[in-house]
Structure 1
Amino acid sequence: MNEQLLSDDDVTLYGLFVEAYACIKPLVHRDLGIPDAWFEVLLRLGRTPEHRLRMTDLADAVSFSSGGFTRLADRMQREELIRREADPHDRRAALAVLTDEGSKALHRALTSHVAQLRAHLTAALSDDDRRHFERILRTLRDANR
């Protein structure tokens, strides 16, 4: 076994990133009142102008295959959280649209989520730490798209 690779700083840094995320995620998602995947879909729609996105773009944004996302969207549509509409600019595409019921569910989930984020993520960081953390996360995301 290569001891140098085992103790490599990059391996340690990545391990800390994974461990921190694994600790924080269940804490900030525990009182959402809806499944995590539904929350991610509703949040993406809620933060998008006109609260609508092409189904394929939304599936990519929440890291689902098109087939997996179709099943997820079917369940959310049955619960009246989203609806599908034809894309007026591309007749082959469909849009996912946030419904009033979906907006209410998102509001309830976000109320808990923000409180948990503040308690378990941002409370541990200074204002400078938050700015640096955001910059680092954006850099990592953008470098690996």
Structure 2
Amino acid sequence: MTERFRSAAHCEPFTVRVPNAVGQSRSRTNPPNPVHVHLPHNACSVNSILSRYTYSNISLIKYWYDLRVDQSVLNDPRITAVGLLVEAHAGLSARFTAQFEQHGLSPVEFEVLTRLVRSPDNRLRMTDLAAQTSLSTSGVTRVVDRMERDGLLTRRACPADRRSSFAVATDSGCKRLDAVLPGHLRIIEEWFTGQLDPESLARLLDGLRRVRDAVHPGATAGATDPEPAPDSR
């Protein structure tokens, strides 16, 4: 059995031998006849191919299809740079998460507390908090609701805008953050900053800040409080 799938662009398709096609049983003593599948270079056609075969074949088809990827493209330093960033983030995040959980916090709850305590009067508008944490409006509301129930923060109305409100870290929230930070800093020193000399770290921070400002300008939203807190007037 042979099937040909053509691509509207790119190069000619090629053939791989895929055993155990639909309707054939797997047997060591009586192996099924292989199916010749012509895979195009265009990835848009791959889904139509995979839908015709059993799951046991899909990994083989994908494997052979992947062999057709131009390796020089995969070795592009831009792909390497992003890959290293993602891998480093994954390794650090796993260590951070385990330590946060020891103190009853999730990673996003730690980030919320950190951003609140670093802000004037330990507070941020809900919209600014959402922008800084890359959460949707509903997402930040759910997180704040949960943290408010746990006594880590509270809401306060915004006198200048009745439609807006502040999320404010409570004393309990500040104490929780104080308890987490020593261990968090040890992990950062051991697995991140301690791996770099001061000059390399300074260059890395400068580069990361430039990228952050380009791709996530909302990360510093509300960093300067536009109005004094009610109890400071």
Do the two structures share a fold, i.e. TM-score over 0.5?
A: yes
Partner residue of 1:12 out of 80, 83, 93: 80
Q: Equivalent residue for 2:110? A: 39
TM-score of the two chains, using structure 1 as the length reference: 0.95
The structure with the largest alpha-carbon Rg is 2
Q: Equivalent residue for 1:130? A: 201
TM-score of the two chains, using structure 2 as the length reference: 0.60
> Structure 2: how far apart are the matches of 1:81 and 1:2?
51
Count of residue pairs the alignment pairs up: 145
- 1:25: Cα distance to partner? 1.6
What SS does the corresponding residue of 1:30 show, helix, strand or coil?
helix
Partner residue of 1:107 out of 178, 190, 214: 178
What SS does the corresponding residue of 2:164 show, helix, strand or coil?
strand
Deviation beyond 3 Å, 4+ runs, structure 1: none
Q: Percent of aligned positions with the same letter in both sequences?
A: 39
Letter in 2 for 1:2: D
- 1:68: Cα distance to partner? 1.3
Letter in 2 for 1:16: L
Q: Equivalent residue for 1:95? A: 166
1:63 paired to 2:130: no
> Structure 1: how far apart are the matches of 2:182 and 2:74?
42
1:2 paired to 2:70: yes
- 1:4: Cα distance to partner? 2.7
- 1:143: Cα distance to partner? 2.1
Q: Structure 2 stretches of 5 or more lacking a match?
A: 1-68, 218-233
> Structure 2: how far apart are the matches of 1:16 and 1:72?
30
* Cα offsets for 1:4-30 (capped at 9, x unmatched): 322211111111111111112212332
Range with bigger deviation, 19-28 or 118-127: 19-28
> Structure 2: how far apart are the matches of 1:30 and 1:120?
14
Letter in 2 for 1:28: F
> Structure 2: how far apart are the matches of 1:122 and 1:77?
33
> Structure 1: how far apart are the matches of 2:179 and 2:134?
23
C-alpha contact 2:152 2:173 (8 A) present in aligned 1: yes
